[in-house]
Structure 1
């Protein structure tokens, strides 16, 4: 038993390229979710004319917690150029979500209780993210974005922002 306790935690290693092929070319699916901060509800159609990085995550998901602060840094860098980051937490309880937001000082728009919204994409694992163009069409999809994939995601965002 002691030997098992000494083993490092498993690390996620992508099986193929950073980008995935689910939902490409489809319109972003509609949803309306309450924001954790109590401001107006989040609905994807409210971000037409901007590039949206739509991230589905949960506080129970270690890769999600690693990825979201990196996405928030991209949001801060490109917000003025037309990027919106919508982080849809699948948690039902706001307390751990709020604690994570406060700990990392996230600027993203964070929605709560997005399990049904996430389920509409029929993904078997979390986290997953969609890049949505200014017309509301999904142009790129990703599962866990680690350091090796972050540059690719940033280039995708820059390409879409240049089209606005």
Structure 2
């Protein structure tokens, strides 16, 4: 475990007020330093650091500062964003476990959960603004774009040597994830400065300025630890926190009621790639489990469902575990790791909407004629009795 600690406040405001206009072309030696930083960040598997974000807008008499503790894991299989993270500060904490994104509020003790995460959901998250994640993702684009002028200078801060990597962009700036540039609606020249410790070759600050303005956006990374101790496994699941935090009310979604005709669907069986519909199981009771990978309750459900399948599968019960969130590879890994003995299927989220599913796991038991017998949590005694009567 490598630890890089920067307890001092980097006094770089003098360096950001020097000449910010860059000349055309990038010297090869400067480009090598940009590449070295990019390669260093790409090599990081897990990292933790103290994160400080500061906005200073003198013309508007505005100053804002926030800070907290960040843990990022780039080494896991992450389908959507290429990472997962946990961030904590005085206002609460946020977690993205590569499937779900949830945030808590220390003030009202609530938790807000988003199960179907889109890339746009990361915009506006404080912990990601001009972060290590941003730099890791945007640097290859900066290096590869010849229209972006780049330059490297050296400086001493507290008698320690640092590189100052400068790059200039016109009418665009990195988005929160650094996956692309956000284009501005007005003409703005952005001056970007990355302060890099020469010894560790890790960034300790990212400063963003605008031509003709005294506004400064600045993020600092201190107490950096490479390959830190990983957070406990259950800390990645929102279900772990439901005793301490009340789920924040979202748009009302009602689970389908017993007595209704079960909506048909067309899904794909993960094991074979074949199309699966509810209609094809007419004449057999069917148990649907709606689940996602990063859910402790879903993991705990596996042995219970395995037992039901072993007990009733030979008599005609069909269990289908529906996952519309995770990749096929992630589902395969889950099935292997937890020794699932029933079928898993995937498809688009319309099946969740048709059954009114907004939390996981949810169970739907359907009789031989396609009528819903039960909908709700995994209640083994109730399901056991119902299945026994409907075979």
Q: TM-score, normalised by structure 2?
A: 0.35
- Report if the CA contact (8 A) 1:34-1:111 is conserved: yes
Distance 2:371 2:307 in 1: 23
Q: Does 1:126 align with 2:360?
A: yes
What CA deviation, in whole Å up to 9, does each residue of 1:66-122 have, x standing for no partner? Answer: 113311220111111111101111224112211111122222111023522112122
Q: Which has the higher contact order (CA 8 A, sep 6+)?
A: 1
Change in CA separation of 1:127 and 1:84 when aligned onto 2, cut-off 3 Å: same
Report SS of the residue matched to 1:23: coil
Report SS of the residue matched to 1:67: helix
Aligned to 1:106: 340
Aligned to 2:292: 58
Higher percent of residues as strand? 2
Q: Which has the larger radius of gyration?
A: 2
Higher percent of residues as helix? 1
Decide which of 42, 48, 57 is 2:276's aligned counterpart. Answer: 42
TM-fit CA distance, 1:21: 7.6
Distance 2:386 2:329 in 1: 33
Q: Does 1:67 align with 2:301?
A: yes
- Report if the CA contact (8 A) 2:257-2:372 is conserved: yes
Decide which of 353, 359, 380 is 1:150's aligned counterpart. Answer: 380
Change in CA separation of 1:51 and 1:109 when aligned onto 2, cut-off 3 Å: same
Report SS of the residue matched to 1:42: strand
Provide structure 2 residue ranges, at least 5 long, that are not aligned to the other structure: 1-87, 89-230, 244-253
Aligned to 2:260: 26
Aligned to 1:160: 390
Q: TM-score, normalised by structure 1?
A: 0.78
Q: CA RMSD in A?
A: 2.6
Provide structure 1 residue ranges, at least 5 long, that are not aligned to the other structure: 13-19
Report SS of the residue matched to 2:290: strand
- Report if the CA contact (8 A) 1:28-1:137 is conserved: yes
Report SS of the residue matched to 2:267: coil
Change in CA separation of 1:50 and 1:63 when aligned onto 2, cut-off 3 Å: same
- Report if the CA contact (8 A) 2:269-2:276 is conserved: yes
Distance 1:72 1:87 in 2: 11
Paired residues in the alignment total 147
